[in-house]
Structure 1
Amino acid sequence: MHVGVAMRKIHAASFALFLVLCGVRVASAESTFSFESAETLDDMSSLIRSKTPLGSSRENVRKIFVEEGRATLKVKKDDSSVEKYIYDIDLCHYYIWRWNISFDYDGSDQLRQAYVNGNTVFPHGNPKKVIPKFAEEGKKASIYRMQRPRAEAYKGESSLVFLLFDRDSDPSTTDDQALLGAGPSRADPINMGKLVTYTDVEPWRSIFDFEAADRIVPYQGNCNTSR
């Protein structure tokens, strides 16, 4: 072996040993988060449990879903301890897939529960809010048949239909509403999986939410092979 090559190897090994002795750890860079890395609802729940376990800081959750994932951040108007990150994917104009990932935080901005499209992620987190299915005292309850337009999906589901229960028949008060609807389980225009029923879901946390994302992202796969 050439003397110069041998000396460079010795120097490199010595430097690595020096870092270890000084307590310096050389860590590999973690890959950034992308919503496209989760193809199914279960995939997303697993990612959330892995990347943002209970007790995670709001700052860290935002870093992952907003800074890295480029989701649209929405803080709940009547409760600043609750916020969501929405991300829409155009599945080749057949369906607009919405990721509505919402989180509940405590007074110290520590994560207490996460939701994927309105369903809880952590069994031991804060319990899901359930709206009683009867009218408020002195008021009349209503059930509405609602539609969430998705004009971009002109080849398929251009409108999403759901039922909305409202305890006081006042659409402006949203804390007493729950919906019943359904949607696919996979963000794939070729195989959208099974039909998932959403029951007792807060509209604000759901795929039927009327708030707009900053953009609708094109499907990253090949649309020429879909359907």
Structure 2
Amino acid sequence: MTARDDIAQFLQSDDRAIAFALARLNFTIDGFAVDTAGFRKIGQMVELGTITVGTSARGHGHVTAAVYTALNRNRLTVPPGLDLTGRTARAVSDQAMVVHECTHALMDYHRFQTSAGAQEVAAYIAGALYAKARAVVMSAPGDPQTDAIFSSAHAVVANRGMVGRLNQTLAAADPDVALLAAAVAGHREYAEVADDPARMDGIGDLMDPWYPARYW
């Protein structure tokens, strides 16, 4: 199957473990609702080709290996060889990365206006929540800036018990969310753009330092 098929099937999966984790993706942050039905909708758009899928020239382990690009392109670019059906920590890492990028796509779909940094905060929380629901904690040993983002995102999820308590409301002013926002703003990929307004049709060509080096 193609990467497009894999992503479309993953977002609409009936696999018990995957479906459970996707069903945890229900929270609101600064007025934007992240919801399981939205990810299924993104999966349908990928399946139909409304959102196109390409292969990244950057291999596994590069911090910008996965990108969602709006700017009328509506394109998801991912590294080759993703495992979107497995149960290993490595596979869950791939799946959480897709959740992260598809959170950007969901904001693009709804034309939700916020800052680039705030979009990243929502996407990292969604990725961390999916991973936590699969009993995986993301990390990036050897990359303190990226690891700080992962640690802060997982702290938001864990401290609030988001796997078991759905439909929580988060705000930028919340101390744990603010710590995550600071980690995002302090990352080399975001330092100059975190406060910039995101465009109505998505996050533009900003590349996300989501995909960590693989340590499994």
Please report the TM-score for the alignment, with normalisation by the length of structure 1. Answer: 0.26
Computing the radius of gyration from Cα coordinates, the structure with the larger value is 1
Q: Flag the structure with higher strand content.
A: 1
Q: Flag the structure with higher helix content.
A: 2
